Structure 1
């Protein structure tokens, strides 16, 4: 017979401490104790990893463990533009800068805005010098116009170019001493975070494409680098997006088409971006968490619905200028895609589009009332799309096949290794049937001899390339070779 002696309280406590020391507690925020050797109070009230307090943390190779959802407030409905004066008054605006371009300044949307502000007795000044597809010089001109007026609020009326320019006017009047490159995305700029909220901005889109009314992103040409870049931060997003389907009825067919292609690629790219849990580095402070975070469960919902709506309604909106249902659904799709990609991000189509626009050999797209050559943003992203999604297919066959199903493809017997090819073919067929679209880079005036410059203009787009599946951004030689092949395949489809 053996007698078991119960351990004393002191012995039990000692055993517990030894167990904790050998096997530190884990929780969803701290699943790998080796990654969290810093001194902090654990959510369960226990101070961990005491022996490693002096060890510095290297977060540069740690994968992300969280995503953050941010979007502007959105009001959607026919005729809601007339409410903007009351919104300005409700937000306390007394000196308002209304931002638009020469074309939109003559449309009913601007008339509605001015009348609404006038009814409420709000002081305002109009800046109508926005350039379609802004350059850094046009953005700086707009900023210099706004600074002396010192508005306490902005209202943007127009397409993505107008809304993006208004965001930047807001930013640099709120940080008047900042150098222009301080906030521009690295490595072309310093990529500094925007450390406090800006003045209220109401965005009223007149095109159905960019989704800029929902996002904290503003894009422009940095002429000296011959590439598009921009600024991205949550504090840049509009306070309110007034999304009025009546305002898009004045869009020419070609603008409906090219704007819709932007929605198409926003949704496809955010749906197929790397998962947020694969993004490196994990920020050491939440303020540094980028706006573009990788695919996540919330963005997925918005992106996939936007894709389905675009495939269904864009051909109708392009074909029939009186199909108001299709136009309204495309405007809604643009906003949905804006929420999706504004948090998940875009990748290769957009990364490659920036030098395509910035290095335009002289192409001028029909339907745009501008004097200089122009490759509309939606066109510049769509010309590479068939090549891009053929390339990214192996990274996540299930998602690429789900996207192909949105185009009406029966994928029940498609093998996983064919996912990229199937989506590429479906996308090519959709673009061809849409009509009046350049089928690749050659119709834009690009030749094989331009590819090296296009590749070099793409490589600095680290903000979006880091989200590109299948692209090896850790090895510059391999990345350059992959991009070269993609541009070669995109010359024609």
Structure 2
């Protein structure tokens, strides 16, 4: 037998999917198939005011499932907000299952609650290294139905949950295939009232998911792993490529329309929602890299910036904005690692954009054109950072080694500093 030293195996996983207008009205039936009697719905106060979680609770009750609503999910969740949600669920439990209603914040919070009410321990026991102990969930979790109300995170498809660690001013998360929801119920009608600013920020998260996954290291370039050592992110592979290409094609035809005419264009909302789900199926297996790694300290160290369409009383850089702000410069950096993939991505995402003479500029140019059209801030300076902040941002990025190792051209600290410097303004 020849000893194999390079990886020859890739993995791919995603939950069953129910997609389409009105799909959220069938959650009671779906949850009843798991034999549950008592379910906790996790959501935020804004969605409660809109009546969506209570409508889902009523649907559950029609199938003789007791349902209660927790509305304390924090937009851009933190270790503190996760811990409070877990505390509530432990005090009011036990629960037979969970329904997450909202953006990635609600779905990620529900994943953490499911884990920490199914098994003992504290949040940091399971958080990724080097920040946490990265303890794997010891067994199966309870049924979790994810119901996204924004077209962005793809969290309904993925096996990870993300949070801010307040004391360290950095984002990190928990990553394990057992966190993946039992079922994704994706109803485009739930996104029709999203403000334009939220549509733009969430949509840029889709863009970066698809692009980073598509340009990630090919799975065979990783060292061979034992089965128990394989992580959720395995690098770009033939299956993830298919989902990411389709996501980019859908975005090219629908994203600007969803931003401009989102309250009336059901087709644009449907295609953007589908793009988010497809990108989640891609990056949730292959991984993301530099833009996401940079986005975590950008969001974690925010001082005073308040984005359009979000609550006015709390400074924040929404996740989708944060990951997009350094994307043009990051893809200039990574171009040499896979020129053909960067060019293919540019042609899928911006088929009508004018082609640049310099091939390295084609994908950044497509991104800048899109970002300008949908009102994304012009670089990290537009959300409050200056050149003097770069030495403080770089360490937060370098803590994201799980992500940086997924890039086909692994950056040094100096490389990351240069990407931040090149992203002070993008146009």
Q: Specify if TM > 0.5.
A: yes
Superposed displacement of residue 469, structure 1:
2.1
Q: What secondary structure sits across from 2:155 in the alignment?
A: coil
2:105 is the counterpart of 1:161: yes
What's 1:350 paired with? 292
Q: Which of 471, 481, 492 is 2:410 aligned to?
A: 471
Structure 1 residues 118 and 305, CA, compared in 2 at 3 Å: closer, same or farther?
same
What's 1:485 paired with? 418
8 Å contact kept, 2:252–2:351: no
8 Å contact kept, 1:193–1:288: no
Distance in 1, Cα, partners of 2:265 & 2:32:
35
Q: Which of 297, 301, 309 is 2:250 aligned to?
A: 309
Distance in 2, Cα, partners of 1:175 & 1:274:
34
What's 2:259 paired with? 318
Q: Which has the larger radius of gyration?
A: 1
Alignment length (residue pairs): 423
Offset from partner CA, 1:241-277 (integer Å, 9 cap, x none) = 1101111112111111111100000000000001011
Distance in 2, Cα, partners of 1:289 & 1:97:
32
Structure 1 residues 132 and 116, CA, compared in 2 at 3 Å: closer, same or farther?
same
Distance in 1, Cα, partners of 2:27 & 2:312:
29
8 Å contact kept, 2:244–2:279: yes
Superposed displacement of residue 34, structure 1:
4.4
Write out aligned runs for 1:315-464 (5 A). Answer: 315-320=256-261, 321-369=263-311, 371-406=313-348, 407-408=350-351, 418-434=358-374, 436-464=375-403
Distance in 2, Cα, partners of 1:288 & 1:236:
17
Structure 1 residues 489 and 112, CA, compared in 2 at 3 Å: closer, same or farther?
same
Superposed displacement of residue 413, structure 1:
9.8
Offset from partner CA, 1:66-123 (integer Å, 9 cap, x none) = 1111111110011111111111211111111110000011224323202201211211
TM-score after normalising by structure 1: 0.83
8 Å contact kept, 1:441–1:490: yes
CA-based RMSD of the aligned residues comes to 1.6
Superposed displacement of residue 424, structure 1:
1.1
Superposed displacement of residue 195, structure 1:
2.9
Structure 1 residues 413 and 129, CA, compared in 2 at 3 Å: closer, same or farther?
closer
Which 4+ stretches in 1 moved above 6 angstroms? Answer: 409-414
Distance in 2, Cα, partners of 1:420 & 1:296:
23
8 Å contact kept, 2:299–2:322: yes
What's 1:210 paired with? 153
Superposed displacement of residue 180, structure 1:
1.9
Structure 2: any 5+ residue segments left out of the alignment?
Answer: none
Distance in 2, Cα, partners of 1:151 & 1:213:
20
Structure 1 residues 413 and 354, CA, compared in 2 at 3 Å: closer, same or farther?
closer
TM-score after normalising by structure 2: 0.96
Structure 1: any 5+ residue segments left out of the alignment?
Answer: 1-24, 26-32, 36-61, 473-478
Offset from partner CA, 1:114-140 (integer Å, 9 cap, x none) = 220121121122110000000100000
Offset from partner CA, 1:133-189 (integer Å, 9 cap, x none) = 00100000000000121111001111110000000000011112x132121111111
Q: What secondary structure sits across from 1:336 in the alignment?
A: helix
- Comparing 365-374 with 328-337, greater Cα deviation is found at 365-374
